[in-house]
Structure 1
Amino acid sequence: MPIEFVAHVTGVDDEDCLVAGIAERADGTGRALIFQAGQEPPDDQDVRLGLDTYCLVTENHGTAYGCVRELTIDGDRLHLEVSADALDDLGLTDTAIRVRLAVPPASIEVLRDHLGRILIYGRADARPAVLRL
């Protein structure tokens, strides 16, 4: 059964690395998804360690690299599909996540921009097969 929640908070940052996040509540409780990517191209060490792509972090600090298979934003609805082999690392029970973005339209636009930059970072084979922002 898909994981579903309402995100009342979105945020982005590009100071040290590219970050885009959505969360159920501003106090940090509840569901959260944080997408991150480097500002500079991956280096040789990143490639050796398999860290030469973006990462996804969940509210329980579960982390997986290059695991997003599909991400779409349609109006105030975000749909995310992650790879089945990342479920344990992410601490999730289903590959499908559906989020209603209960934030102003301007916040959704900023989120779209950052997600578009983050999810194309690094090696091509880790990029989502479907990316509709």
Structure 2
Amino acid sequence: MTDLSPHRSPYWEITTLVVGEEVPDITYSVFVGDGDDAVANGYYFDLQRFLEEQPDEQNMRNGTDSYCVVNESGGVHYGGLEEVSLSPGLLTLRFDDEAIEALGLPSRVIPLGVAAEVDLDALRAGLHRVLTYGNPRRHPRLNLG
């Protein structure tokens, strides 16, 4: 198991959480950001999946047969998480090399603080729903407490 322990300082703190259908009847999303205006002026990750139970053949051919990660750099990557760990006060994301490049990340391991007002149960359930979608070879190891 990879060291995702909380001794690393968080890059930023999650104060905004939006979980649910992002595009009605098409996509489900877990959006975590450092404020209400994170898309315009901050840091965020938007983890998305299609609502359909499994990816269709076109998605499999295109390599879009798993969850998708979007961030403030404008980067978009399908799959790419190797491990996700959630504990009170900390969400740690471990990315593969392709995702690091596509998303312009500063490091393989991204620790994010989680503000006390963030609903951990909603975050946990949303992460599980998104990150277990599609191609099982792209599912990260999950330690969601």
TM-score surpassing 0.5? yes
Residue 123 of structure 1 corresponds to 135
Report what 1:17 is aligned to.
27
**TM-score if structure 2 supplies the norm length?**
0.84
The residue that corresponds to 2:84 in the other structure is 71
Give per-residue Cα distances to partners, 1:108-129, cap 9 Å, x unaligned: 210110110110100110000x
- The 3 A distance-change label for structure 1 pair 2 and 87 is farther
Q: RMSD across aligned C-alpha pairs, in angstroms?
A: 1.6
TM-score w.r.t. the length of structure 1 is 0.91
Compute the displacement of 1:30 (Å). Answer: 1.6
> Which residue does 1:4 correspond to in 2?
11
- The offset of 1:104, in angstroms, is 2.0
**Equivalent runs, 1:1-133 vs 2, <5 Å:** 4-14=11-21, 15=24, 16-28=26-38, 29-40=41-52, 41-104=54-117, 107-128=119-140, 130-133=141-144
When the two structures are aligned, how many residues end up with a matched partner? Answer: 131
List, as ranges, runs of 4+ consecutive aligned residues in structure 1 with deviation greater than 2 Å. Answer: none
Separation in 1, partners of 2:80, 2:20: 21
Cα distance between partner residues in 2 of 1:26 and 1:19: 16
Q: Using the alignment, how far apart are the partners of 2:116 and 2:18 within structure 1? A: 10
Percent of aligned pairs with the same amino acid:
28
